[in-house]
Amino acid sequence: MIPVRGYEGATIAVLGLGRSGLTAARALRAGGAEVIAWDDGAKGREAAEAEGFTLRELSKPGALDGVATLITSPGIPHLYPAPHPAIAAAWRAGVAVDNDVGLFFRSLGWDDSAPRVVAITGSNGKSTTSALLHHILVEAGKRAHLAGNIGRGVLDLDPPEEDEIIVLELSSYQTELARSLTPDVAVFTNLSPDHLDRHAGFGGYFAAKRRLFAEGGPDRAVIGVDENEGLFLANQLQEAAVDDRVIRVASGKLEGPGWTVTARKGWLAETRKGRQVASVDLRDIAGLPGKHNHQNACCAWAAARSLGLGPREIEAGLRSYPGLPHRSQRIAERAGVAYVNDSKATNVDAAVQALQAFERIRWICGGLQKEGGLEALHPHLSCVAKAYVIGREAAGFALGLGQGVEVEVCGDMATAVAAAARDAQPGETVLLAPAAASFDQYDSFERRGEDFAARVAALD
């Protein structure tokens, strides 16, 4: 655990006692703070009380008297669609509000042994990019740790040393609120509509991501520029056309003399000052199928180069990368049919990327539909032999797919897997890429992916 420094003797309140909240409470106490805590759920309160933390309902009048800072968990709304009552009370009382990511950055460097930190954000691909970069570093013999939205909580890490590298995956919930954001390298993969209720629209969502680059001023920024928001961000950070502090990443050709990493027709190419300095054929790397994973490879490549790794070291890491569970994960092959688990494709854009990775697909989709509808899927359904729709509102989801694809309303995973396996022909792929959240039927996208894998394993 990383003891949180700078709050010795101060009273700090912690709101939300899940993984990150309870770890923050422990780290604050280890650093000498007096901690009071609250969770709206009895389970969280019981866990904190068992560890000796004082409980106090933080939204009650006077509950924040004497409190220096309120630390809130990322899942708790702090502005939109409405602030949690305890956070609103903190604003009125003039109590600073922060989160565990802010505490993490605040606690680095107190003993002159700060590690290097790479922070990765974006709508899609940030988990794969983070895990891939961590894998590349470890394979190259570096002392590296993976934390944040993936792996361990940021404060659950052991106190880092100067020669270590910490790779953080950060969500918009985390970047929006952290009062300290000072990574050495910051990565922006891409942007597509997601979590719009928490950010009051697309502009607020982008603004939350942008804070990672605007607040701390990283030494180097890796920016995916396939969307206008990425182009805008890269342009804001660049002082000139040739500015090595910014590496632009794209799925097509880029103009200008700056530092770029691109993936075109399955080939990764690194260019500096108008000259190609490295290239890799990504098409035969099993752990990175499809254009979306080629973009992830480009982002990881650029970050690794920023940390001083050479092209051969990075390529070796790419080729040995096993892939992440629930993200284009090939889980089985039966009678010439591949079964791929991409349960993490929880929005339309992620599902489009998954669909583009395979040629003929038996597509399992559906769940809790997000804002924006399904129209953006329609131009990408030519590879779908048939869709098998799950979810409590499967019939409505099926209608949203339009007339361009054959659809079977299945309702649940067991029915969908059985139907897809019944219909699939050799050379086809049964793909779970829901284009929807899981919470209508599962606790998480992980549980949904595990159910898919279990149903595939149980096939005759």
Q: What is the pLDDT of residues 335-358, one digit of tens each?
A: 999 999 999 999 998 899 899 989
389 and 414 both lie in a single domain = yes
15 and 146 both lie in a single domain = no
pLDDT of 111 > 70? The answer is no
Whether residue 123 is annotated as binding a ligand: the answer is: yes
**CA atoms of 266 and 281, how far apart (whole Å):** 6
| The pair of three-digit structure tokens given for residue 296, joined into one six-digit string | 């992830």
370 and 300 both lie in a single domain = no
304 and 406 both lie in a single domain = no
Over residues 138-170, the pLDDT tens digits come to 999 999 999 998 878 999 999 988 899 999 999
148 and 20 both lie in a single domain = no
The CATH number of residue 139's host domain is 3.40.1190.10
Residues comprising the chain, all counted: 460
132 and 191 both lie in a single domain = yes
The CATH number of residue 370's host domain is 3.90.190.20
- % residues pLDDT > 70 (the chain): 99
Whether residue 209 is annotated as binding a ligand: the answer is: no
285 and 163 both lie in a single domain = yes
Whether residue 52 is annotated as binding a ligand: the answer is: no
Over residues 242-260, the pLDDT tens digits come to 889 999 999 998 988 999 9
This prediction has a pTM of: 0.85
Domain boundary among 291, 320, 349: 320
| The pair of three-digit structure tokens given for residue 252, joined into one six-digit string | 């097509």
Q: Quote the number of domains for the chain.
A: 3
Cβ-Cβ contacts under 8 Å for 362 (sequence gap 6 or more): 337, 384, 385, 386, 388, 420, 423, 424, 428, 429, 430, 431
Cis before 183? omega within 30: no
**CA atoms of 63 and 41, how far apart (whole Å):** 18
Over residues 258-297, the pLDDT tens digits come to 999 999 999 999 999 989 999 999 999 988 988 889 999 9
**CA atoms of 442 and 430, how far apart (whole Å):** 20
Cβ-Cβ contacts under 8 Å for 413 (sequence gap 6 or more): 364, 390, 441, 448, 451, 452, 455
Is 6 within the bounds of a domain?
no
| The pair of three-digit structure tokens given for residue 401, joined into one six-digit string | 């797919």
Amino acid present at 176: E
28 and 176 both lie in a single domain = no
Domain boundary among 98, 118, 152: 98
Is 5 within the bounds of a domain?
no
Q: Could you tell me the residue range of the domain that residue 74 belongs to? A: 11-98
310 and 411 both lie in a single domain = no
Is 357 within the bounds of a domain?
yes
Domain boundary among 98, 120, 135: 98
Whether residue 235 is annotated as binding a ligand: the answer is: no
Amino acid present at 376: A
285 and 433 both lie in a single domain = no
The CATH number of residue 22's host domain is 3.40.50.720
Whether residue 296 is annotated as binding a ligand: the answer is: no
194 and 263 both lie in a single domain = yes
- % residues pLDDT > 90 (the chain): 85
